[in-house]
Amino acid sequence: MAEPYHHRFEKDQLRREAGEWFVIMNDANVTKDDEKKFKQWLARGALHRATYNRIAALNLAGKNVDWDNLPPPKRVRGAAKRVWIAAIGCVALIGFVAWRMSGAPAFWSEETQIAQSQSDASLQYSTAPGEIRDISLPDGSRLTLDSDTSIRAWFRSNDRRLRLARGRARFDVAHENRRFIVDAGDSEIVAVGTVFDVAYRDAATVEVHLLRGAVDVRRPHASGKGGAVRLEPGDEFRYSSEGSGKPATVRKHEQEVDWADAKIGRPDARVIEVIAAANSRSTIQIILDDPVIGRRMVSGLNEIDNPEMLAENLAKLYDLKLTRQGNHIILSPLGK
């Protein structure tokens, strides 16, 4: 029987590509284009995914090596020498990956993520456009990620720290002695046993909405004692990064849509509010061809996680024309 053909560089190339992708995907400056290309690379086959997981496992193993107390090398000859050289190569690869990176890939199992959290490694979570995801954190807290959101978390012996790179997230914090800190922009939000939202969409403006409990928003460049602002339930704190020239404001939250529950917050809401909430959760976008439509009040259409059904209901309710163009649904007055 003929032996199956294997290119002699295939394995080395695959390992090299997996290592490069591991470095890219665990970099704090990873882009949406990088994430898209990475998913395409993984989709090429199970061998790609398995190779990437082996590289990630080497990184995790490297964190547990006591590099300062390695045993001295012994003199070896012949075959034993070749084994020792191979071992050195493996340790070097582990050391390189551990040195370059400190994060876990988002698609690892929950057991692996918890193991990493116990060794002070970081956990990374993200959502695609149109996706909302609920996550149980290792400390018992709950995390809800809005569409197109990326966050990294560290659970250390003295604190729990999360970094919101982009998007919006809800934090339902489990009470314990360690501080719970969320970094967004150039500030940090400190909370204990509370529920709050943080939005950081345009890499310049941060919004903090407190639902329950209390939080302190600390801004190193702000005036006042320690640059801290204490929020009360219902408060929304909006501010821009240092140097923007825009003043920070605290006001009562007026949004009528609870984005995390996919429901309108009261029986009556404006059409424009309902559509904005639906658009934030889906790649299918509803567009109003006449701003007058958006100012109308609507009730009984509380669900916003099905944009096509929502658009059809609005069209029937207000005698609108519905036009589909790719991922867009356009609502316009009849006859226009």
Q: Give bridge partners of residue 217 from the DSSP assignment.
A: 189, 229
The reported pLDDT for the residue numbered 173 is 94
Residue 317 to residue 306: CA distance in whole angstroms:
17
The reported pLDDT for the residue numbered 94 is 63
Residue 336 to residue 330: CA distance in whole angstroms:
12
Instruction: Parse the chain into domains and list their residue ranges.
Output: 10-100, 120-252, 257-333
The yes or no reply on domain 120-252 and CATH 2.60.120.1440 is: yes
**Is 61's pLDDT higher than 70?**
no
3-state SS assignment for residue 126: strand
- Average pLDDT of span 239-268: 66
**Is 172's pLDDT higher than 80?**
yes
CATH topology for 257-333 is Phage tail protein beta-alpha-beta fold (3.55.50)
The reported pLDDT for the residue numbered 178 is 92
3-state SS assignment for residue 57: helix
182-235: pLDDT as tens digits:
999 888 999 877 999 999 877 778 999 999 999 999 887 665 545 688 898 989
Residue 35 to residue 210: CA distance in whole angstroms:
31
Picking from 3, 18, 97, 95, the residue whose alpha carbon sits closest to that of residue 52 is 18
| Confidence tier at 118 by pLDDT (50, 70, 90) | very low
In one-letter notation, the amino acid at residue 5 is Y
Mean pLDDT over each residue of the chain, to the nearest integer: 75
Picking from 127, 128, 163, the residue whose alpha carbon sits closest to that of residue 145 is 127
pLDDT-wise least confident of 51-55, 65-69, 99-103: 99-103
The reported pLDDT for the residue numbered 113 is 42
The reported pLDDT for the residue numbered 334 is 83
The reported pLDDT for the residue numbered 273 is 80
- The answer to whether domain 120-252 and domain 257-333 are alike in fold is no
40-59: pLDDT as tens digits:
877 777 677 777 777 766 66
